[in-house]
């Protein structure tokens, strides 16, 4: 691309956009000037000039008539000086009709004595002596110039209680007297306060001479100093950030040339990153004529934009989390089907029937560290196991899958369960410092109806016999260390003979654990529930009845207190 055809850089582009705004405003100024000249808007219409009256004018109005013509309350005051020339008192000489009307409206009857002639101002209104009025009168006397406007607030006592007065007061020399005038200041102050509360201001820019009339709170809303001149449209464009200029130009173009309402967002320099929405409309001198002025409201929308942006970020994060949760749930479904088998009649040839109930932790998308297994081994025996990998979610599920499949392979060695448990401990230790788990590893001997098992830091199995539930005791009276804690650890096996109808319950601690609970109390709770759910006759014969018993037991123990996934594996001897 040739040098002169390259697009302008950021700074150059901003200068071009400012130049375009300047040319748009200058062109409209010329149109307004030409329109005014063509229609002679500032020349008197022939024949409308007043002609001198042949009769002499009437008498001049009196001072009181002039006072009564004022559209605001007014008091005529005179100063009383002492021998040293200092002001000693201020006499309230007279008032106008608007002052009397104001007094009747703001001060209930009886609040102020009836005025009968000149009286001391502070004797009639004592609270005024503690306001800005004395200082204004003193400065007006010494400087000979008008003072104010200043907000004056004071209280006057009435039979119904004190009345708060707040007005915008001016004081001006008037011959040998002083004129004190006021307007209801509460409306002006409320308007300014309202602008501050909603961060809104407004202005009207004259396109013929760059004059501007702005609301009282314009500077405060835009963060300008009180003594700063209200910016013209071109000055406003100069204060805008470069990214705001195209939209500002389009808004000015739409209002001035297309003659319809438009809006844009302005990022102004020196406002701490605040953003203003400018809504502008055309002002015409007559219907169908050109746009004579531009009237606009500026609203500080920074907080709203930040809230919307925060909401969008939260929505995006929630969407990502939802997508992640869906992916994790899909993985969880596959893992659950792979590692949590469904028993029906698979163990019947070995004289056992089994039922398993699994309750995932809702926080972990339906998968956790619990696992169980029942598999025929080449020697005709059954490998039975239930374990709980440390942690939550996919991290725990990954360790759980490693241990489960490692055990499936190790089981084919036909080694005793204590050696299988030792080897499984080595697998967990090799996986990392955080890869710990508890487990019950067992082998069932169908020919002798014996269950030989180890306990690696896990809740001991429970034997349900003759309507009673008791925990099985280990050979040495205590459980061995969990898997993955100490490499080379040895494990001790215990042999339990099963009778017909005996039920062995293996469970994970998520089923019984309570926050800050006592493990012994958790075990007692499980034993009590196991007996209570038996009913009078105990579980009926067949896999469905055993499954129903396991479901009722889990439902009895489960609840909102649970903070982990929970598993129950029920084995029942049904034949020799």
Query: Between these two residues, 33 and 47, which has the higher pLDDT value?
Result: 33
3-state secondary structure of 416: coil
Beta bridge partners of 299: 200, 277
Query: Between these two residues, 305 and 529, which has the higher pLDDT value?
Result: 529
- Give me the residue label for tokens 């306001």: 131
pLDDT at 10: 61
pLDDT at 2: 39
Phi-psi region of 501 (alpha: psi -120 to 50; beta: other; left: phi over 0): left
H or E element at residue 188:
helix 185-198
- The proportion of the chain whose per-residue pLDDT surpasses 70, expressed as a percent, equals 84
pLDDT-based confidence at 3, cuts 50/70/90?
A: very low
Residues near 143 by beta carbon (within 8 Å), at least 6 away in sequence: none
What gap in Å lies between CA 150 and CA 430, rounded to an integer? 83
Q: pLDDT for 404-440, tens place per residue? A: 888 888 988 889 999 999 999 999 898 876 788 999 9
pLDDT at 271: 79
∠ CA 519-522-523, rounded to 5°: 90
Query: Between these two residues, 431 and 245, which has the higher pLDDT value?
Result: 245
pLDDT at 7: 47
What gap in Å lies between CA 493 and CA 461, rounded to an integer? 13
pLDDT at 220: 83
Residues near 85 by beta carbon (within 8 Å), at least 6 away in sequence: none
Query: Between these two residues, 435 and 335, which has the higher pLDDT value?
Result: 435
Q: How many CA atoms lie within 13 A of 41 on its CB side?
A: 12
Query: Between these two residues, 226 and 515, which has the higher pLDDT value?
Result: 226
Provide the 8-state DSSP code for 244.
Answer: G
pLDDT at 438: 92
Task: Say if residue 400's pLDDT is above 60.
Answer: yes
Residues near 308 by beta carbon (within 8 Å), at least 6 away in sequence: none
3-state secondary structure of 247: helix
Give, in order, the Cα–Cα distances in Å from 5 to each of 1, 8, 9, 17, 20.
6, 9, 12, 18, 19
What gap in Å lies between CA 288 and CA 290, rounded to an integer? 7
Task: Say if residue 62's pLDDT is above 80.
Answer: yes
pLDDT at 549: 93
Structure tokens of 534? 């038996």
pLDDT at 186: 61
What gap in Å lies between CA 248 and CA 383, rounded to an integer? 78
Among 163, 167, 186, 182, CA closest to 108: 163
- The mean pLDDT value for 344-372 works out to 78
Mean pLDDT of the chain: 84
- Give me the residue label for tokens 């180890």: 454
What gap in Å lies between CA 120 and CA 274, rounded to an integer? 52
Q: pLDDT for 148-195, tens place per residue? A: 888 888 777 666 667 777 888 999 999 889 999 988 766 666 666 666
Among 525, 517, 511, 518, CA closest to 569: 511
Q: pLDDT for 308-321, tens place per residue? A: 888 888 888 888 88
Task: Say if residue 333's pLDDT is above 70.
Answer: no
pLDDT at 452: 95
Task: Tell me phi and psi for residue 351, to 5 degrees.
Answer: 80, 20
- DSSP notation for 98-144: HHHHHHHHHS-TTSSPPP-S-EEHHHHSGGGGGSSHHHHHHHHHHH-
Cβ-contact 249, 266 below 8 angstroms: no
- The proportion of the chain whose per-residue pLDDT surpasses 90, expressed as a percent, equals 38
Task: Say if residue 346's pLDDT is above 80.
Answer: no
pLDDT at 116: 75
pLDDT-based confidence at 461, cuts 50/70/90?
A: very high
- The mean pLDDT value for 366-382 works out to 82
What gap in Å lies between CA 14 and CA 238, rounded to an integer? 10
Helices (H), 455-512: none
Helices (H), 242-341: 245-256, 302-339
What gap in Å lies between CA 356 and CA 562, rounded to an integer? 18
Give, in order, the Cα–Cα distances in Å from 243 to each of 113, 172, 299.
64, 49, 18
What gap in Å lies between CA 482 and CA 508, rounded to an integer? 13
Provide the 8-state DSSP code for 563.
Answer: -
What gap in Å lies between CA 244 and CA 264, rounded to an integer? 8
- Give me the residue label for tokens 């470069």: 242
Among 275, 87, 91, CA closest to 178: 91
Task: Tell me phi and psi for residue 431, to 5 degrees.
Answer: -80, -20
**How are strands ordered across the β-sheet holding 450-456?**
370-376, 382-389, 437-445, 450-456, 493-497
Cβ-contact 572, 501 below 8 angstroms: yes
pLDDT at 236: 92
pLDDT-based confidence at 495, cuts 50/70/90?
A: very high
Burial 190-215 (b: 16+ CB within 10 A, else e): eebeebeeebbbbbbbbbbeeebebb
Among 146, 153, 144, CA closest to 180: 146
pLDDT at 42: 57
Task: Say if residue 515's pLDDT is above 80.
Answer: no
């Amino acid at each position: 691309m040739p040098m002169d055809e390259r697009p302008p850089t950021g700074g150059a582009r901003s200068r071009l956009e400012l130049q375009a705004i300047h040319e748009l405003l200058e062109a409209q100024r010329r149109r307004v000037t030409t329109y005014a000249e063509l229609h002679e808007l500032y020349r008197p219409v022939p024949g409308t000039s007043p002609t001198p009256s042949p009769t002499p004018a009437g008498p001049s109005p009196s001072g009181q008539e002039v006072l009564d013509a004022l559209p605001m309350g007014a008091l005529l005051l005179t100063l009383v000086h002492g021998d040293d020339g200092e002001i000693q008192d201020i006499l309230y000489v007279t008032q106008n009709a608007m002052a009397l009307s104001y007094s009747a409206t703001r001060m209930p009857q009886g609040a102020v004595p009836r005025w009968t002639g000149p009286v001391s101002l502070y004797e009639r209104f004592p609270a005024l002596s503690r306001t800005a009025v004395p200082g204004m009168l003193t400065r007006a006397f010494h400087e000979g110039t008008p003072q104010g406007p200043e907000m004056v607030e004071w209280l006057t006592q009435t039979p119904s209680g004190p009345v708060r007065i707040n007005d915008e007061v001016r004081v001006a020399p008037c011959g040998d007297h002083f004129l004190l005038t006021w307007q209801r200041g509460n409306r002006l102050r409320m308007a300014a306060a309202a602008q501050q509360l909603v961060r809104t201001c407004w202005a009207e820019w004259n396109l013929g001479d760059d004059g501007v009339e702005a609301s009282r709170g314009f500077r405060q809303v835009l963060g300008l100093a009180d003594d700063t001149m209200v910016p013209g449209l071109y000055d406003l464009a100069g204060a805008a950030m470069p990214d705001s200029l195209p939209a500002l130009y389009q808004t000015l173009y739409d209002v001035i040339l297309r003659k319809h309402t438009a809006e844009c967002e302005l990022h102004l320099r020196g406002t701490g990153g605040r953003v203003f929405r400018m809504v502008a409309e055309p002002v015409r001198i007559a219907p169908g004529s050109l746009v004579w002025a531009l009237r606009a409201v500026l609203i500080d929308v920074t907080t709203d934009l930040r809230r919307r942006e925060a909401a969008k970020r939260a929505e995006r994060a929630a969407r990502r989390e939802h997508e992640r949760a869906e992916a994790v749930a899909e993985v969880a479904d596959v893992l659950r089907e792979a590692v949590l088998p469904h028993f029906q009649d698979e163990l019947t040839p070995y004289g056992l029937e089994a039922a398993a109930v699994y309750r995932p932790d809702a926080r972990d998308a339906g998968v956790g560290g619990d696992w169980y297994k029942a598999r025929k081994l080449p020697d005709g025996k059954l490998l039975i196991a239930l374990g709980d990998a440390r942690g939550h979610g996919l991290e725990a599920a990954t360790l759980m899958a490693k241990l489960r499949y490692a055990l499936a392979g190790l089981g084919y060695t036909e080694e005793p369960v204590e050696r299988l448990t030792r080897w499984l401990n080595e697998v967990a230790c090799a996986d990392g410092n955080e890869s710990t788990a508890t487990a019950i590893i067992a082998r069932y001997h169908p020919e002798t109806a014996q269950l030989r098992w180890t306990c690696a830091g896990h809740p001991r199995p429970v034997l349900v016999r003759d309507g009673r539930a008791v925990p099985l005791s280990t050979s040495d009276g205590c459980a061995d260390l969990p898997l993955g804690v100490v490499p080379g650890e040895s494990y001790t096996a215990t042999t339990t003979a099963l009778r017909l109808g005996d039920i062995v319950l293996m469970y994970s601690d998520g089923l019984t654990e309570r926050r800050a609970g006592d493990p012994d109390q958790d075990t007692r709770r499980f034993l009590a529930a196991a007996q209570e759910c038996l009913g009078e006759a105990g579980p009926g014969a067949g896999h469905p009845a055993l499954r129903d018993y396991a479901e009722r037991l889990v439902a009895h123990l489960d609840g909102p207190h649970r903070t982990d996934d929970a598993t129950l594996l029920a084995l029942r001897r049904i034949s020799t």
